[in-house]
Structure 1
Amino acid sequence: MNQHYYDTLFSAAREKGLTISAAADEAAMAFLDGKPMGQGKKRWSGRDRHTALWSSEFLKALPADVWSQEPLRLALTQYLAQDRVACPELVARVAAIAPDVLMWATRHSDLVMRQDSPRWLEISKLDADQHEALAELTRVFLIFREAHQVRLDEVARLRNPLRELAPLDLLIYASLFAFEHQIPNLLDGRSRPNLPDVQEAWDAIDDILAWKLASCDESDLQLSETSLASSLRQHLIPFLFPSADRPRHDCYQAFLTLLGAQVELNAFVHRSADAFSYDDSIRFERCGDHLEIVEVDADAIAAWRRDGKKFDLLHQYWLYRGMDALLNAPDLLARVSPANLEANLQALAKAMGTWLRLQEVYGMAEQVRTDTGSSAMVFHVLMTIELMTAFFIEDYLRPYQQSLSETGNSFLALGRLAFSGLLQPDLQNRFPLTWSDRTAKVERIKPWTATAKQPSGSSPAAETILDFMTCDWAAMAKQLRAGEMALRPRWQERPIFKMGRLSLQLPWMMAVQNNSAAVINNLRRLGSRRNETKEETRRIEERLGALFRKRGFQVLVGYEVAEDANAGEIDLICARDGHVLILELKSTYQRRSIKEAWAHRTSTLRKAGLQLSRKVPVVQRALGQDMELMNALGLKNGQPTVIAWIVDTSTEWDHQLFRGFLKISLEEVLIALRDERMLLNQPHGLFAGHADRAHPPDDYEKPYKDDTLYPDGFSAARLVEVIETAAVWEGSL
Structure 2
Amino acid sequence: KLFEHKESPLWLALRAALAGDEWQVFFGVCDRLLDQLKPFDELITSAEKQLEHLTLLELFSYLSILAYQAFTGEGSDDPSGQLWEVYSRIILRRLRVCPEEDFRLSESRLGQSLKRHLSPIIFPESASPDLAACRENLEWLAVLIAATQERIDYEGSIDWFCFDPECRYQLKQGESVIYNQSVAGTERWQRTGRKSDLLWHYWMNRAVQAFIDSGMAEQIIGLPENHELNQLAYIKAVRSQLQLQQIYGLGDRISLSDGSQVQLHHVLLASELTSVFFQKEFIQPFQDHFRESGVLAQALCRLAMDGVISGENRFPMTWSEEQEKIRRITGWTVCEEHPKGSADSAKAILTFWTSDLKALSQQLKQQPRTPAPRLYEKPFYKIGRYSFQFPWVGAKQNNLTAAINNLRRVNARRADMQAETQRVELALAESLRQRGFAVEVGYRPLATAEDDAGEVDLICHQGGVVLLLEVKSGYIRSTTHEVWLHRTNTLRKAAWQVRRKQVAVLSALMTDQELRARLGYHGQQPEADLRAWIVDTSIEFDGQSVDGFRVLSRETLEIILRDEKHLLRPLDQLDEDDPCTLFPDGFTADRLVEVAESGELWRDIC
Q: Could you state the TM-score of these two structures normalised by the residue count of structure 2?
A: 0.94
Aligned counterpart, 1:717: 590
How far did residue 586 of structure 1 move? 0.5
Aligned counterpart, 1:379: 265
Aligned counterpart, 1:538: 422
Asked if residue 244 in structure 1 is aligned to residue 142 in structure 2, the reply is no
Aligned counterpart, 1:731: 604
Aligned counterpart, 1:158: 47
Asked if residue 672 in structure 1 is aligned to residue 560 in structure 2, the reply is yes
Cα distance in 2 between the residues matched to 1:429 and 1:314: 37
Which amino acid letter does the alignment assign opposite residue 149 of structure 1? K
* Match 2:90 to one of 208, 224, 232: 208
Aligned counterpart, 1:18: none
Aligned counterpart, 2:581: 708
Distance 1:704 1:452, change over 3 A: farther
Asked if residue 137 in structure 1 is aligned to residue 26 in structure 2, the reply is yes
Distance 1:301 1:407, change over 3 A: closer
Aligned counterpart, 2:434: 550
Asked if residue 118 in structure 1 is aligned to residue 6 in structure 2, the reply is no
Q: Which range moved further: 222-231 or 295-304?
A: 295-304
Cα distance in 1 between the residues matched to 2:577 and 2:592: 17
Any idea what SS the aligned residue of 1:609 has?
helix
Structure with greater Cα Rg: 1
* Match 1:600 to one of 477, 482, 486: 486
* Match 1:507 to one of 377, 386, 391: 391
Q: Residue 498 of structure 2 contacts residue 532 of structure 2 at CA under 8 Å; is this kept in 1?
A: yes
CA deviations on 1:666-716 (whole Å, 9 max, x unpaired) are: 11000111112122222315xxxxxxxxxxxxxx6x448531111221111
Q: Residue 79 of structure 2 contacts residue 393 of structure 2 at CA under 8 Å; is this kept in 1?
A: no
How far did residue 290 of structure 1 move? 6.7
Asked if residue 497 in structure 1 is aligned to residue 381 in structure 2, the reply is yes
Any idea what SS the aligned residue of 2:415 has?
coil
Q: Map 1:255-270 onto structure 2 (within 5 A).
A: 255-269=141-155
| Percent identical | 37
RMSD, matched Cα: 2.0
Distance 1:538 1:244, change over 3 A: same
Asked if residue 273 in structure 1 is aligned to residue 158 in structure 2, the reply is yes
Which amino acid letter does the alignment assign opposite residue 482 of structure 2? E
CA deviations on 1:249-295 (whole Å, 9 max, x unpaired) are: 111111111100001111112x2222211111111222238743321
* Match 1:369 to one of 255, 268, 276: 255
Q: Residue 79 of structure 2 contacts residue 396 of structure 2 at CA under 8 Å; is this kept in 1?
A: no
Cα distance in 2 between the residues matched to 1:235 and 1:127: 55
Aligned counterpart, 2:112: 230
Which amino acid letter does the alignment assign opposite residue 634 of structure 1? G
Cα distance in 1 between the residues matched to 2:429 and 2:195: 24
Cα distance in 1 between the residues matched to 2:411 and 2:151: 29
Cα distance in 1 between the residues matched to 2:157 and 2:446: 50
Q: Residue 307 of structure 2 contacts residue 314 of structure 2 at CA under 8 Å; is this kept in 1?
A: yes
CA deviations on 1:651-673 (whole Å, 9 max, x unpaired) are: 12222222321011111000111
Which amino acid letter does the alignment assign opposite residue 528 of structure 1? A
- Alignment gaps of 5+ in structure 2: none
Cα distance in 1 between the residues matched to 2:308 and 2:600: 55
Q: Residue 479 of structure 1 contacts residue 485 of structure 1 at CA under 8 Å; is this kept in 2?
A: no
Aligned counterpart, 1:656: 544
Count of matched residue pairs: 597
Asked if residue 615 in structure 1 is aligned to residue 501 in structure 2, the reply is yes
Q: Residue 112 of structure 1 contacts residue 277 of structure 1 at CA under 8 Å; is this kept in 2?
A: no
Cα distance in 2 between the residues matched to 1:290 and 1:545: 54
Asked if residue 400 in structure 1 is aligned to residue 273 in structure 2, the reply is no
How far did residue 447 of structure 1 move? 1.4
Q: Map 1:129-528 onto structure 2 (within 5 A).
A: 131-179=20-68, 181-185=69-73, 192=75, 199-241=81-123, 242-245=125-128, 246=131, 248-269=134-155, 271-288=156-173, 291-330=176-215, 334=219, 336-337=221-222, 338-424=224-310, 427-528=311-412
Cα distance in 2 between the residues matched to 1:368 and 1:287: 56
Any idea what SS the aligned residue of 2:170 has?
strand
Cα distance in 1 between the residues matched to 2:140 and 2:201: 39
Any idea what SS the aligned residue of 2:340 has?
coil
Cα distance in 1 between the residues matched to 2:317 and 2:469: 48
Q: Residue 25 of structure 2 contacts residue 170 of structure 2 at CA under 8 Å; is this kept in 1?
A: no
* Match 2:473 to one of 581, 584, 587: 587
Q: Which range moved further: 238-247 or 538-547?
A: 238-247
Cα distance in 2 between the residues matched to 1:173 and 1:313: 38
* Match 1:627 to one of 507, 513, 529: 513
Which amino acid letter does the alignment assign opposite residue 126 of structure 2? S
Cα distance in 1 between the residues matched to 2:364 and 2:9: 25
Any idea what SS the aligned residue of 2:586 has?
coil
Cα distance in 1 between the residues matched to 2:531 and 2:523: 18
Distance 1:250 1:481, change over 3 A: same
CA deviations on 1:169-188 (whole Å, 9 max, x unpaired) are: 22122221121x21133xxx
Q: Map 1:681-696 onto structure 2 (within 5 A).
A: 681-684=569-572
CA deviations on 1:445-464 (whole Å, 9 max, x unpaired) are: 11111221210111111111
Q: Residue 376 of structure 1 contacts residue 468 of structure 1 at CA under 8 Å; is this kept in 2?
A: no
Cα distance in 1 between the residues matched to 2:120 and 2:417: 49
Which amino acid letter does the alignment assign opposite residue 214 of structure 1? R
Any idea what SS the aligned residue of 1:645 has?
strand
How far did residue 196 of structure 1 move? 8.3
Q: Residue 166 of structure 1 contacts residue 212 of structure 1 at CA under 8 Å; is this kept in 2?
A: no
How far did residue 556 of structure 1 move? 1.1
Which amino acid letter does the alignment assign opposite residue 596 of structure 2? I
- Alignment gaps of 5+ in structure 1: 1-109, 186-190, 686-699
Q: Residue 444 of structure 2 contacts residue 455 of structure 2 at CA under 8 Å; is this kept in 1?
A: yes
Which amino acid letter does the alignment assign opposite residue 713 of structure 1? G
CA deviations on 1:100-124 (whole Å, 9 max, x unpaired) are: xxxxxxxxxx122111111111012
Which amino acid letter does the alignment assign opposite residue 561 of structure 1? P
Which amino acid letter does the alignment assign opposite residue 472 of structure 2? K
CA deviations on 1:4-36 (whole Å, 9 max, x unpaired) are: xxxxxxxxxxxxxxxxxxxxxxxxxxxxxxxxx
Distance 1:332 1:534, change over 3 A: farther
CA deviations on 1:466-497 (whole Å, 9 max, x unpaired) are: 10000111111111222423311112110000
Q: Residue 473 of structure 1 contacts residue 497 of structure 1 at CA under 8 Å; is this kept in 2?
A: yes
How far did residue 299 of structure 1 move? 2.6
How far did residue 563 of structure 1 move? 5.5
Q: Residue 571 of structure 1 contacts residue 584 of structure 1 at CA under 8 Å; is this kept in 2?
A: yes
Q: Residue 541 of structure 2 contacts residue 553 of structure 2 at CA under 8 Å; is this kept in 1?
A: no
Any idea what SS the aligned residue of 1:340 has?
helix
Any idea what SS the aligned residue of 1:706 has?
coil
Distance 1:513 1:575, change over 3 A: same
Q: Residue 322 of structure 2 contacts residue 385 of structure 2 at CA under 8 Å; is this kept in 1?
A: yes
Cα distance in 2 between the residues matched to 1:730 and 1:170: 49
